Amino acid sequence: MKDQDNCIWIGGTEIESLHKFDLEPSDIKINKQFLYQSLGYQNEIPEPVLIEIDKTIDYLNALVEIQAGFKLISPERVKFHSGYILIDDERLNTKAIIGKKLVDSETLAIFVATLGSRLEEKSKKLMSEGDLLQGYILDAVGSELVEQTTDWLQLQVENLLSENNLKITNRYSPGYCGWNVVDQQIIFSFLPKLFCGIKLSESSLMVPIKSVSGVIGIGKNVIKSDYECSICDMTNCSRRRVM
């Protein structure tokens, strides 16, 4: 992995900077427990599923091209309100749930992460050839991998800022907790074109599919909690982290 931009945030004075990482699959560890959970299982997992998961994790390396990055925005460009955030004149309508979590921040990191398209192409191919279980497990492993990549990226933001006594919030994504997915258009407008190879469509779909976007609040007095699924109203979500 490498940070292609070693510009740093200096002692509380803002420096806008862009950070981009190309990761090896071995940099990111798949949390199997989370994977089982995302497939629905709490305890007993059928053997073919376990075998397929192990097989998939083994051949995953050839199918992913992990890229992740974030941009730190200058504090004077960002204004936080309880239901929205202004960056310059652009308004991110986070709505109340996420707005409240970010309101004590001084500025934002805008982030994206992706696995590239090869994995989803392979999964599609497997499914169309009738290998439904294999295709489905590969898709689920991909989703878990991109989530773990985003955890890793969040840690990079945290480490970089902690050197300057700044803290971070949890990460929040458009499309969750009432924040409309269309606001990705604004998020992407602050990133270089095709940053990390991700294209945002008119319908606010990221291509490759296995991609995530969002923001992280930054400040001296903000809080990050371990898992925040409890704030989300989608209680039947298969990916709800039960701790």
Q: What six digits make up the tokens of 19?
A: 């950070």
Residue 229 within binding range of ligand B12, rule CB under 6 A? no
Q: What residues between 94 and 113 interact with other proteins by CB under 8 A?
A: none
Cβ of residue 27: shortest distance to other proteins, in angstroms? 26
Does 237 participate in binding ligand B12 (rule CB under 6 A)?
yes
Q: What is the largest CA-CA distance in the chain?
A: 57
Q: Total binding residues for other proteins by CB under 8 A?
A: 29
Interface with other proteins includes 233 (CB under 8 A)? no
Nearer to other proteins, 103 or 187 (CB): 187
Nearer to other proteins, 78 or 147 (CB): 147
User: Restricting to residues 147-206, which ones interact with ligand B12 according to CB under 6 A?
Assistant: 147, 173-176, 181, 184, 205-206
Identify the residue among 4, 10, 48, 59 touching other proteins (CB under 8 A).
48
* C-alpha to C-alpha distance for 171 and 228, rounded to whole angstroms: 9
Q: Does 61 bind ligand B12 (CB under 6 A)?
A: no
Q: Choose the contact partner of 132 out of ligand B12, other proteins, none; CB within 5 to 8 A by kind.
A: other proteins
> Whats the size of the chain, residue-wise?
243
Q: Does 141 bind other proteins (CB under 8 A)?
A: no
| Complex with ligand B12: residue 1 or 234, whichever CB lies closer | 234
Query: How far apart are alpha carbons 4 and 14 in whole angstroms?
Result: 19
Distance CA 112, CA 157 (A): 12
